[in-house]
């Protein structure tokens, strides 16, 4: 059977295998971006 969600990899979306990846990746990106922002701007995780 083909995937019901074309373009998505169900292996990478499996929470048992990748439970922290999204949160850790978003935090790492926000940390990196904040060092490049003008002083009057900041990145914030909500």
pLDDT digits (tens, 9 = 90+) for 16-45: 878 788 888 888 988 888 888 888 887 776
**CB of 46 closer than 8 Å to CB of 40:** no
Would the pLDDT of 5 be above 80? no
Q: What is the pLDDT of residue 9?
A: 74
- 43 vs 41: CA distance, rounded Å: 7
What residues contact residue 10 under an 8 Å CB cut-off, 6+ apart? 3
pLDDT at 1: 66
Chain position carrying tokens 């499996």: 14
Distance, in Å, from the CA atom of 10 to the CA atom of 3, rounded to the nearest integer, reads: 8
pLDDT at 26: 86
Q: What pTM does this model have?
A: 0.54
3-state secondary structure (DSSP) of residue 46: coil
Q: In the numeric block, which tokens belong to residue 31?
A: 């940390």
């Amino acid at each position: 059977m083909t995937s019901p969600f074309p373009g998505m990899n169900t292996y990478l979306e499996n929470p048992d295998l990748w439970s922290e990846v999204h949160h850790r990746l978003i935090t790492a990106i926000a940390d990196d971006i904040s060092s490049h922002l003008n002083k009057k701007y900041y990145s914030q995780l909500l």
